[in-house]
Amino acid sequence: MRLKDKTAVVTGAASGIGKAIAIRLAEEGAAVVVADITETPREGGQTTVATIVAAGGQAVFHSCDVTRNDDLETAVARAVEIGGRLDIMVNNAAIGTDTPLHETSEQDWDRVMAVNAKGVFLGCRAAVRRMLDQELIGEVRGRIVNISSQHGMIRAPNDFDYGVGKAAVVYMTRQIAGDYAEHGIVCNAVAPGKILTGKTGRAIAPEMLAYSQSRTPWPRLGRPADVANAVLFLASDEASYIIGENLMVDGGWMAN
C-alpha cells in the first residue's frame, strides 16, 4: 500500500496504458479519478472503475476532455473532494493521426496538438495550481507524471503531429520540474516504447509490429503493466531526488 491515503487523477484512463496505471495506483491504495472522454475500454471488458472497485479499491469516473480546461480543473476538484488534496496527476491521454507531414492537414495538427500538447499543459497547470496551495507531506506537495514516448525524442516514422506533440511533453516535463522543484512539486515522465493495447489500425499492422520488434532488443513488445509499474514508482515516495526525468520503458529501444 505504497499510496495509502493518496488521491490521483489519471487522464485517458478508460483504456490501455491509462487503465493499467489507474488500476496499479489503486492497488497500492490511491483513490483514483478516472478522467476520460469515454468509460468504454477500447480493448473491451470491464470499465476501469468497475475493475478497481471489484478489487476493493476506490475510483470514480469523471467525464473529461483534456482539451477543455474546465474538465481538468473539475477532475482535480473531484480528487480534492475525495481526499482533501491532489497527490498525483498523471497526464496520459493522447491521440495520433498516423500521417506523414505532407498528408497532415491543419485540422489533424490542431486536433493532435490540442490533446497531446495543450491537454498536458492544462493538466499540469490545474495540478500545479492546486498543489501550490496544499501542505508539504515530507518534502513533497504533489507529484506529476506525464506520459511521453520514445517518439518525443527520436522521429516517429510517418507520424508527424504525434511525434511533435510528444516532444512537447518531454520539454514541458523538464520545464515544470525545474520551475516548481523549489515548491516541492515533483514532475517526471514515463516514455513508453511499443506497448500492445487495444489500439487498432496502423498501430497493430503486421509490418509496424515487426518494425517495433526489430527496434526492441527485449524479446517481446511492451505491456500496459510495464508502464504502470514505472508510473507507480515515480508517483511514490520511493522516487526521491528524481526531477525532470523521462524514464524509458521501452525494452531497450532507445539503447539500440
* Residue 185 binding ligand NAP, by CB under 6 A: no
Helix ranges (DSSP H) in the chain: 16-27, 48-54, 69-83, 106-112, 119-132, 160-180, 206-215, 224-235
Residues 6+ apart with CB under 8 A from 54: 46
Q: Is 191 helix (H, G, I), strand (E, B) or coil?
A: strand
Asked if 231 and 146 count as a contact pair (C-beta separation under 8 A), the reply is no
Asked if 151 and 163 count as a contact pair (C-beta separation under 8 A), the reply is yes
As measured in angstroms, the least distance from the Cβ of 60 to ligand NAP is: 15
What is the per-residue binding string for ligand NAP in 81-100, x denoting contact by CB under 6 A?
-----------xxxx-----
- Edge-to-edge strand list for the sheet holding 7-11: 58-63, 31-36, 7-11, 88-91, 142-147, 185-192, 246-249
As measured in angstroms, the least distance from the Cβ of 203 to ligand NAP is: 7
As measured in angstroms, the least distance from the Cβ of 210 to ligand NAP is: 14
* Residue 188 binding ligand NAP, by CB under 6 A: no
- Which of 9, 34, 66, 230 binds ligand NAP (CB under 6 A)? It is 66
Q: Which is nearer to ligand NAP, 66 or 89 (CB)?
A: 66
- Which of 27, 113, 153, 198 binds ligand NAP (CB under 6 A)? It is 198
* Residue 194 binding ligand NAP, by CB under 6 A: yes
Q: Which is nearer to ligand NAP, 141 or 168 (CB)?
A: 168
Report d(CA 60, CA 52) in Å as an integer: 9
Q: Residue 82: which of 8, 184, 183 has the closest Cα?
A: 8
Q: Which is nearer to ligand NAP, 7 or 197 (CB)?
A: 197
Stretch that binds ligand NAP, among 75-83, 128-136, 173-181, 195-203 (CB under 6 A): 195-203
Residues 6+ apart with CB under 8 A from 7: 30, 31, 32, 33, 79, 80, 82, 83, 84, 85, 86, 87, 88
Report d(CA 78, CA 36) in Å as an integer: 14
* Residue 251 binding ligand NAP, by CB under 6 A: no
- Is 162 one of the annotated active-site residues of the chain? yes
Report d(CA 200, CA 190) in Å as an integer: 23
Q: Which is nearer to ligand NAP, 30 or 191 (CB)?
A: 191
As measured in angstroms, the least distance from the Cβ of 256 to ligand NAP is: 16
Burial of 102 (0-12, 13-18, 19+ CB in 10 A): exposed
As measured in angstroms, the least distance from the Cβ of 136 to ligand NAP is: 29
* Residue 65 binding ligand NAP, by CB under 6 A: yes
* Residue 123 binding ligand NAP, by CB under 6 A: no
Candidate list 162, 171, 211, 241, residue with the active-site label: 162
* Site of interaction with ligand NAP (CB under 6 A): 11-12, 14-18, 36-38, 42, 64-67, 92-95, 115, 147, 149, 192, 194-195, 197-199
